[in-house]
Amino acid sequence: MTESNWLARRLASIRTSKQRTGDAAEQQALLHLQRQGLQLVQRSFLCKGGEIDLIMRDGKHLVFVEVRKRSSQQFGGAVASVTASKQKRLIHAAQVYLQSIKPLPACRFDLVAFEGEQLIWLKNVISG
């Protein structure tokens, strides 16, 4: 095993339970969206000031997908957890991503929320 493989496996093994739950939710969301005909462009786009969980293609649209999972509705649930501040960070990350694309495609922001085990897919949830 090379040193870089060892490091990657080690880092993966020290992810918290919450991170592993989030990873599983993202994978489940990805599979659901692919079954609906969307195509994966990129996972986990990171930039200074923002992050996008999934970037997908839906026909001519580029879709920025936020994935949220909450085990209970106690604090408003997964849908309510996408605050105005989080929306601003998503829009910022999308703007950074789009700087490298010409011509600009039609875009939308979708939310895949898990409320317990129920998957809720909301399309075009943020107006940039």
The DSSP symbol for 49 reads T
CATH number of this structure's domain 17-122, picked from the four choices 3.40.1180.10, 2.30.110.10, 3.40.1350.10, 3.40.630.30: 3.40.1350.10
Q: Which residue has the higher pLDDT, 64 or 79?
A: 64
pTM: 0.82
- Return the pLDDT at 108: 95
| pLDDT surpassing 70 at residue 74 | no
